[in-house]
Amino acid sequence: MDGTHAPATKRNPYRVYWITWVILLAITVTMLLAESLHMPRWFLIAFLLAFMMVKATMIGGNFMHLRYEKRNLAVMVAAGILVTSLILFLFIRPEARYVLEHTH
């Protein structure tokens, strides 16, 4: 947790990367299959967004070692990006609707 050591298990310190790689590929294939299944649009959006966040968490946590870093750092990075992005997206929607209704 001190941020100076890579994750290490007694057996194989590289195992975490292989497992993460396999899971990321499996999720990617699942997302591609879902996209071709013609499911309801709202369900597809929720499904893909959920899996996108899982992939991002796995890359941040395991590849970038955020899960092994001090919590202060992980919170600063994750909360900073997530909260700002959420605010941006929430403000975009009504503005885009206004432009659509008043300029076309």
- In the complex, the residues that contact other proteins under the rule CB under 8 A are 1-8, 13-14, 16-18, 20-21, 24-25, 28-29, 31-32, 35-36, 44-45, 48-49, 51-52, 55-56, 59-60, 62-64, 69-70, 72-73, 76-77, 80-81, 84-85, 88-89, 92-93, 95-97, 99-100, 103-104
Quick one: 40 or 88, whose CB is closer to other proteins?
88
Could you tell me the smallest distance in angstroms from the CB atom of residue 10 to other proteins? 13
Instruction: Give Cα separations from 34 to 41, 53, 85 (angstroms).
Output: 11, 16, 25
Paired tokens of 3: 């941020």
Instruction: Give Cα separations from 2 to 9, 65, 89 (angstroms).
Output: 16, 11, 34
Strand, helix or coil for residue 39:
coil
Paired tokens of 99: 């432009």
Could you tell me the smallest distance in angstroms from the CB atom of residue 103 to other proteins? 8
